[in-house]
Copies of this chain bind each other. A is one copy, B any other.
Amino acid sequence: MAAGTAASALPLASAKSKYPIVHHVFFWLKNPGSVEDRDKLVAGVKSLAKIETIKQIHVGIVASTEKRDVVDNSWGVSELMFFADLEGQKTYQDHPIHQEFIKNHSHLWEKVIVYDAVEA
Contact = CB atoms under 8 A, between A and B. Distances in A.
Q: How many copies does the complex hold?
A: 2
Contact residue range for chain A?
A: 35 or more
A85 B73 CA distance: 18
Contact of A52 (B9, B68, B120): B9
Nearest to A80: B22
Contacts of A54: 11
Contact of A62 (B61, B66, B112, B117): B117
Interface of A: 6, 9-12, 15-16, 18, 21-24, 26, 42, 49, 52, 54-66, 68, 70-73, 75, 77-78, 80, 86, 89-90, 93, 112-120
**Across chains A and B, which 9 residue pairs bring their CB atoms closest together, nearest first?**
A60-B117, A63-B118, A65-B116, A63-B116, A9-B52, A11-B57, A42-B120, A78-B117, A71-B114
